[in-house]
Amino acid sequence: MAYQHTNSKGVTYYLHKTESVLRGGKHQIIYFFAKVAKNKKGTPCDLPEDRFVKENPRNGFLTVSKKKGGEKAE
């Protein structure tokens, strides 16, 4: 089951990931939230251990960020 998060506005979003290739040939995984559980642009996934979810208090937009040394997830 994919990770899901309900923001402060009551809207549920599902975490997805997609892999893109940068100009230098390096592969990078992009994490994003979508309102639907299945999205054509990515595959549903769980929240990685080294990431946490942040919410913009003004508009409820969700982002995934890397944990830093002493930072803990909410």
Cβ pair 12, 67 in contact under 8 A = no
Identify the pLDDT of residue 1: 72
Burial class (CB in 10 A: 0-12, 13-18, 19+), 33: buried
Residue in 41, 59, 43, 56 with CA at minimum distance from that of residue 3: 43
Q: What number of H helices and E strands is found in the chain?
A: 0, 6
For 9-64, write each residue's pLDDT tens digit: 999 999 999 999 999 999 999 999 999 999 899 999 999 999 999 999 999 999 99
**What are the residue ranges spanned by the domains of the chain?**
4-66
Q: What is the Cα 4 distance to its own chain's centre?
A: 9
